[in-house]
């Protein structure tokens, strides 16, 4: 078990959205304000960690043929719990995300990790994996929100930060965010579906560029060492 | 009645297209759109599953409401969808093996297609009656079919296009999907009755 390596994989080299290319529907749909992005990211993080632990605990009992059905039932259970908790305690988030909270059930990240990691690894490693992958997902959502919100409506941290009554965090989605430029000068298209596709495309391209460059650098270095 | 069904249908196919305006079903949309034939098969399979699951889940929703178990909805729906997909898989394997092998891993993955669970949840949210639910399911599937076939024909041309190396694969597909979404936005001002 290597905690540092797992976090590096979750955040960068094996990031669920940017490298594994899964769980993209929600990534593009809800990233219109920072409040939605952070809320969705944290919900997925919690569900992913819980499911990872349970699946890893059950991995020796579950028969191979029906494992997917069992994973789905476990996931649906945790999603229902989180859905009900959000409806009770953070209704603003529940309203803003709408069907995308119950749709976490079919988010490929969770079933993907259950299949690829937890059915082969121990409980502690699966727990760390859930947190690392969940954080990687949350960071991508936050980056998407930052770009789309800033370009689309000229603000940062909409729903999450309130500066009208002193700088504070609002957890009920009431904060207006920090206005960088007046919202009527924003590119409205960035908030619309078009902006979702474009921003994610650009982010994945950036990630591929960075990974390719670092791989080339590594090769160059090894070649030099061989020459010396 | 007819006008409401018509407005649901046009809404699901053009104005609120599942992919281009609601982002439901993006994984198979991006995964199985390399060739028009495969895209067509995938679209038809999804349409069938969406129509059937709308009908079945409407009945189950009524049953759960009667028992006061509404909170079990998501769990029940996903199990129904999973067994429907299993049925389609068995049917295709026996009768159209060529389509079965070209859909590959994406066929069982219809279970985790958010468009299918999405349409069921939206039916409940909009409190549609039985006929409206089935109409919304089938036309939503047709909207998915239109989107994926259009996108597959765009992607076939993309093979001959030149673009920066970093955009290879998914990024350029996402950018072209974005442009298609922009085109579909032209419908968003339309209002029916």
Full DSSP string of B92-154? HHHH-HHHHHHHGGGTGGGGG-HHHHHHHHHHHHTT--HHHHHHHHHHHHHHHHHHHHHHHHH
Q: Are A73 and A58 in contact (CB under 8 A)?
A: no
Q: Which residue has the tokens 């976090």?
A: A7
Which residues of A lie closer than 8 Å to B, measured between beta carbons?
Answer: 21-22, 24-26, 28-29, 68-69, 72-73, 76-77, 79-80, 83-84, 98-99, 102-103, 105-108, 111, 189, 192-198, 200-202, 204-206, 208-209, 212
Tens digit of pLDDT per residue, chain B (193 long)? 788 888 888 888 888 888 888 888 888 888 888 889 888 888 988 998 999 999 999 999 999 999 988 888 889 999 899 888 888 888 888 988 888 887 777 777 788 788 899 999 999 988 899 999 999 999 999 999 999 999 999 998 888 888 888 888 889 999 999 999 999 888 877 766 5
Cβ partners under 8 Å of residue B187, min gap 6:
B14, B15, B17
**ipTM of predicted assembly, 2 dp:** 0.85
Give residue limits of the domains in chain A.
3-217
- B30 interfacial to chain A (CB closer than 8 Å): yes
Residue A213: exposed, middle, or buried by beta-carbon count in 10 A (0-12, 13-18, 19+)?
exposed
- B168 interfacial to chain A (CB closer than 8 Å): yes
How does residue A201 score in pLDDT terms, banded at 50, 70 and 90?
Answer: very high
| Number of neighbours of residue B189 by Cβ within 10 angstroms | 7
What percent of the residues of chain A are helix, what percent strand, and what percent coil, each to the nearest 5?
A: 75, 5, 20
The pLDDT tens digits of the residues spanning A102-133 come to 999 888 889 888 888 888 888 999 999 999 99
Beta strands A161-162 and A178-179 are: unpaired
Which of A22, A28, A76 comes nearest B23 by C-beta? A28
pTM for this entry: 0.89
| Number of neighbours of residue A51 by Cβ within 10 angstroms | 24
Per the DSSP assignment, residues forming a β-bridge with A164 are A166
- B24 interfacial to chain A (CB closer than 8 Å): yes
Helix (H, G, I), strand (E, B) or coil at A101: coil
User: Are A194 and B112 within 8 A, CB to CB?
Assistant: no
């Amino acid at each position: 078990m290597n905690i540092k390596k797992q976090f590096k994989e979750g955040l960068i080299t094996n990031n669920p959205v940017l490298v594994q290319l899964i769980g993209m529907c929600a990534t593009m749909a809800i990233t219109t304000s920072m409040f939605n992005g952070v809320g969705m990211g944290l919900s997925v993080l919690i569900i992913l960690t819980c499911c990872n632990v349970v699946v890893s605990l059950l991995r020796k009992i579950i028969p191979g043929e029906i494992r997917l059905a069992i994973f789905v039932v476990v996931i649906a259970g945790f999603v229902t719990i989180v859905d009900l908790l959000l409806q009770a305690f953070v209704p603003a988030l529940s309203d803003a995300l709408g069907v995308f909270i119950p749709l976490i059930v079919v988010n490929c990240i969770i079933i993907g990790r259950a299949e690829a990691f937890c059915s082969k690894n121990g409980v502690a490693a699966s727990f760390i994996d859930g947190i690392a992958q969940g954080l990687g997902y949350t960071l991508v959502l936050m980056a998407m929100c930052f770009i789309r919100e800033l370009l689309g409506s000229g603000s940062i941290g909409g729903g999450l930060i309130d500066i009208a009554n002193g700088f504070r965090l609002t957890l009920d989605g009431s904060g207006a965010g920090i206005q960088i430029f007046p919202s009527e000068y924003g590119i409205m298209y960035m908030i619309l579906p078009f902006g979702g596709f474009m921003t994610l495309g650009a982010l994945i391209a950036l990630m591929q560029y960075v990974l390719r460059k670092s791989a080339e650098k590594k090769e160059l270095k090894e070649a030099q060492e061989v020459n010396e | 009645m007819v006008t409401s069904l018509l407005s649901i249908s046009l809404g699901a196919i053009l104005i609120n297209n599942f992919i281009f305006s609601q982002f439901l079903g993006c994984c198979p949309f991006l995964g199985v759109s390399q060739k028009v034939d495969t895209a067509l098969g995938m679209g038809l399979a999804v349409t069938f599953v969406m129509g059937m699951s709308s009908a079945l889940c409407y009945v189950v929703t009524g049953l759960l409401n009667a028992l006061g178990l509404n909170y079990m909805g998501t769990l029940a729906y996903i199990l129904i969808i999973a067994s429907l997909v299993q049925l389609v898989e068995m049917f295709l394997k026996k009768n159209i093996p060529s389509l079965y092998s070209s859909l590959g891993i994406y066929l069982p993955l219809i279970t985790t297609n958010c468009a299918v669970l999405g349409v069921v949840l939206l039916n409940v949210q909009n409190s549609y009656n039985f006929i409206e639910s089935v109409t919304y399911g089938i036309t939503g599937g047709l909207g998915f079919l239109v989107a994926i076939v259009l996108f597959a024909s765009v992607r076939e041309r993309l093979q001959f296009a030149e673009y920066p190396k970093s955009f290879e694969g998914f990024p350029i597909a996402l950018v072209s999907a974005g442009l298609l979404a922009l085109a579909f936005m032209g419908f968003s001002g339309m209002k029916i009755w």
